[in-house]
Amino acid sequence: MKKDVYILGIESSCDETSISIVKNGVEDVYTCVSTQMDTHANFGGVVPEIASRMHTENITFVLEDVMSNSGISWDMIDAIAVTYAPGLMGCLLVGIEFAKTLSLIYKKPLIAVHHIAGHIYANNLVERIEFPSLGLVVSGGHTELILLKGDYDFEVLGSTLDDAVGECYDKIARIIGFKYPGGPNIDKHALLGKHTYDLPKPMDDDSLNFSFSGLKSYIINLVHNEKQRGKEVNVDDLARSFQDVAVEQLVRKSRLAIEKYDSSRMIVAGGVSANAYLRDELRNMCEEKSVHFSVPPMRYCTDNATMIAAAAYPLFLKNDFSNFTLNAKSHEYFFDKKD
Ligand code: KG4
Ligand code: ZN
């Protein structure tokens, strides 16, 4: 009988310290996430120096929680996986050095996982990704439509020409005056508002590319102009108007890709896939086109180590291990990585 594979994953690229044990790349045995969100909210965004110090303070307690409550002992663990890119340099280094130390002490192979691969493989925690599938990657640094042809065999069909959609959510949240984290706050306030602002509709073409910077600049100017005239914007209505336009672009391009590539399956990945309106609109579009739709539950859309351990599984099967020269890469773009 084939032996079960248990991978311990570590994620510390931004403001969540998380460790998880995943069985066979699909089953979340136990996950602990310690978030620093409340601390950074006082500063309006993640303060890198504070974030890395907090990871150092928290990571041992997070591991202790996992090893005490998962029911898994060190001798059952087959490999240690860690996020090596992209993210805040100091934060990534805490996770990487912790992973190397565990790998050395317990003599377990080390697996380097790209954060975006983690977001993609979070889908395996719901139902195993079947190939080929169309993927929409939406995060703070990525906006791509991809063709998933096999494990780690992804072709970019279209991408943003400027800002990533998550970056746009965060900038607009800040200009409107919403607290950090911006994306989830726009999501919430949009529910309370009406689409009253007439905003430009970017990339109204047949390509599979996206653009968000024009929309962002338009909204920044609009808010400044209103302020100069002594008027206040209606924040809920502006959040709703922006979200409608941004999500419409993501859904329209996804529909185009489904048609162009005759896709019968679609997955979504990345932090912005936590957006309730985007999830609903994509699900409706896929239903209409009889396309099988899959999106991870909320807890696997925001940063977590479960997705890192899940993404490490196909690498484990290929014996794709790292050595102790592994270093953090704060800006590595996932789809540039060639095997
Ligand atoms: O994938 P992720 O962790 O980013 C990178 O790794 O770059 O996602 C973070 C992004 C942030 O821009 C955040 O505002 C956005 O995901 N986000 C959301 C929501 N939750 C997180 N955006 C819109 N609606 C949400 N509910
Ligand atoms: Zn993320």
Q: What is the DSSP string of 194-219?
A: ---S-------SSSS-B--HHHHHHH
Residue 323 domain flag? no
Residue to substitute in 139, 185, 308 for testing ligand 1 pocket (most ligand atoms within 8 angstroms of CB): 139
Confidence of residue 149 (pLDDT cuts 50, 70, 90): very high
C-alpha span between 257 and 208 (Å, rounded): 7
On the question of pLDDT at 86 being above 80, the answer is yes
What is the average per-residue pLDDT within 233-253? 98
Same domain flag for 311 and 217: no
Answer whether 141's CB lies under 8 Å from 166's CB: yes
Residue to substitute in 13, 84, 169 for testing ligand 1 pocket (most ligand atoms within 8 angstroms of CB): 169
Distance 270 CA to ligand 2 centre (A): 6
Tally the residues of the chain.
Answer: 339
Confidence of residue 2 (pLDDT cuts 50, 70, 90): confident
C-alpha span between 205 and 212 (Å, rounded): 14
Q: Which residues of 219-248 are buried (b: 16+ CB within 10 A; e: fewer)?
A: beebbeeeeeeeeebbbbbbbbbbbbbbbe
Q: What pLDDT is recorded for position 336? A: 80
Same domain flag for 139 and 257: yes
Residue 326 domain flag? no
Distance 280 CA to ligand 2 centre (A): 20
Whole domain around residue 81: which residue ranges? 6-122+301-317
Residue 331 domain flag? no
Residue 45 domain flag? yes
**Cβ 140 under 6 angstroms from ligand 1:** yes
Q: Enter the pTM of the model.
A: 0.96
Same domain flag for 275 and 311: no
Distance 143 CA to ligand 1 centre (A): 11
C-alpha span between 18 and 15 (Å, rounded): 10
Distance 139 CA to ligand 2 centre (A): 7
- The residue whose C-alpha atom lies closest to atom 22 belonging to ligand 1 is 183
Same domain flag for 28 and 91: yes
Amino acid sitting at position 266: M
Q: Is 177 left (phi over 0), alpha (psi -120 to 50) or beta?
A: left
**Cβ 274 under 6 angstroms from ligand 1:** yes
Residue to substitute in 37, 121, 123, 272 for testing ligand 1 pocket (most ligand atoms within 8 angstroms of CB): 272
Q: What pLDDT is recorded for position 180? A: 85
**CB atoms near residue 174 (< 10 Å):** 16
Distance 183 CA to ligand 2 centre (A): 12
Same domain flag for 30 and 97: yes
Same domain flag for 56 and 148: no
